[in-house]
Structure 1
Amino acid sequence: MTAPLYGLLLSGGESRRMQQDKAALDYLGEPQLLRAWRLLEDVTERAFVSVRDAQTADPLRAGLPQIVDRYPAVGPIAGILSAQAEYPDVAWLVLACDLPLLDETTLHELIARRDPQLDATVYASSHDGLPEPLCAIWEPSSAVTLLQRYRDGSHCPRKALAILRTLVLPSPGEALDNANTPAEREDIRRRLGATT
């Protein structure tokens, strides 16, 4: 039986390279977190925002359903593992909150091509061709391997995809381009035609 599909918006990072909260950045008139949240909520049965304990009362995040990281700050894997622990029998459509070019068509295609018999369904990165773990569907079967790798000190979800049974779809082009630095943010704002 195919597991239900829930959404997880990763917003617990410290945004060190950006030097400000990436989730709060405005691209087209609203914070990126809220835009990404709407996309995720529209395509999944339930959706949650992944946060660190210190972020639960943050005004941008406080009004949304949250899953608080149960693992020390080790990057995106903390959010994925925490969601899998909270709801172990569902698949998770995991999104990074720093994908301003992401659109609903890209998410619908990922869901339509989902193979629930495998551990994950992902897109290839347009930059290096490797699996993109932060716009991906993680099936319940991926949890054992992710948790074991975490316990072994390996915190990279991309590397986990290399050993899991993963369906890698062709890159959706610029839809997964992220903004981690002020220069990348300005480049994306130019592409979006943002004027403010």
Structure 2
Amino acid sequence: MIADCSALILAGGLSTRMGVDKTSLEFEGQTLLQRAIDRMRDIFPEVIVSVRAHRNDVDLPQVVDETVGGGPVAGMCSGLAASRTPWLFAIAADMPYADQATIIRLAQYRSDDFQAIIPVVNGHPQPLFGFYRTEALPIFRSVLAGNGKRSLRSALSQLQVHWVDEALLRPGDPELRSFTDLDTPADLDLIRKD
């Protein structure tokens, strides 16, 4: 259990490329959202679900985006504001292979010197599989309210970030499957064939 950290499952996306609500898709007998909830409950004392509108099928605390159309930044703002712990682990609901050991390994890189701990896989930052200090909320709110791009990358550019190379995460997840996300029906078909 990572006692000083809450988990935020981002489940408020529009799923436009998938064509249906991704979080309701079934994989290995569970919806993607329930799969994420079960995995996060095992390692965090508090689990929050970020949604566009309240969902009756979720029995956990829910936060609704502070700004309509604000994307993941809006979800992060609501989650950081609701968290009762100094750290928040943010994860997208469409990552069916999120490995608990990999999350725990990533948590070891947290320190007072950083506001975010973000893995870099195949040269790409993975902000929706990362740890954030709740004190970073004002920066996220500034990005959300600004006239510029409302992106997680924009927020990260203003934070003190510890970038964690994929090589440090491979011991527990050799193929880095934790970072597989599902954006299209083809992505879903591919993992169902595995």
TM-score, with structure 1 as normaliser: 0.85
Matches for 1:102-141 after TM superposition, within 5 Å: 102-126=98-122, 129-141=123-135
Q: Which residue of 127, 138, 142 maps to 1:144? A: 138
CA contact (8 A) 1:67 1:82 kept: yes
State the 1:32 CA deviation: 1.0
Q: Which residue of 150, 155, 165 maps to 2:150? A: 155
Instruction: Find out whether 1:33 has 2:29 as its counterpart.
Output: no
Aligned to 1:19, the other structure's residue is in SS state coil
CA contact (8 A) 2:10 2:92 kept: yes
What is residue 190 of structure 2 aligned with on the other side? 187
Name the aligned partner's letter for residue 57 of structure 1. R
What is residue 161 of structure 2 aligned with on the other side? 166
State the 1:115 CA deviation: 2.4
What is residue 72 of structure 2 aligned with on the other side? 76
Aligned to 1:23, the other structure's residue is in SS state helix
State the 1:93 CA deviation: 0.4
Aligned to 1:107, the other structure's residue is in SS state helix
State the 1:4 CA deviation: 2.7
CA contact (8 A) 1:100 1:188 kept: no
**Distance in structure 2 (CA, Å) of the matches to 1:83 and 1:145:** 14
**Distance in structure 2 (CA, Å) of the matches to 1:35 and 1:81:** 23
What is residue 94 of structure 1 aligned with on the other side? 90
CA contact (8 A) 1:132 1:158 kept: no
CA contact (8 A) 2:5 2:85 kept: no
State the 1:132 CA deviation: 1.0
**Distance in structure 2 (CA, Å) of the matches to 1:161 and 1:152:** 15
Aligned to 1:175, the other structure's residue is in SS state helix
Matches for 1:35-50 after TM superposition, within 5 Å: 35-50=35-50
**Distance in structure 2 (CA, Å) of the matches to 1:141 and 1:186:** 40
Bigger fraction of residues in helix:
1
Identity %: 28
CA contact (8 A) 1:131 1:161 kept: no
Name the aligned partner's letter for residue 17 of structure 2. R
| Structure 1: tracts of 5 or more residues without a match | 192-196
CA contact (8 A) 2:98 2:179 kept: yes
**Distance in structure 1 (CA, Å) of the matches to 2:81 and 2:100:** 27
- May I ask how many residue pairs the two structures share in their alignment? 183
Runs of 4+ in 1 over 3 A off after TM superposition: none
**Distance in structure 2 (CA, Å) of the matches to 1:101 and 1:88:** 27
**Distance in structure 1 (CA, Å) of the matches to 2:154 and 2:124:** 10
**Distance in structure 2 (CA, Å) of the matches to 1:101 and 1:39:** 10
Query: 1:73-110 deviations in whole A, cap 9, x for unaligned?
Result: 22111111012223476321001001012111111111
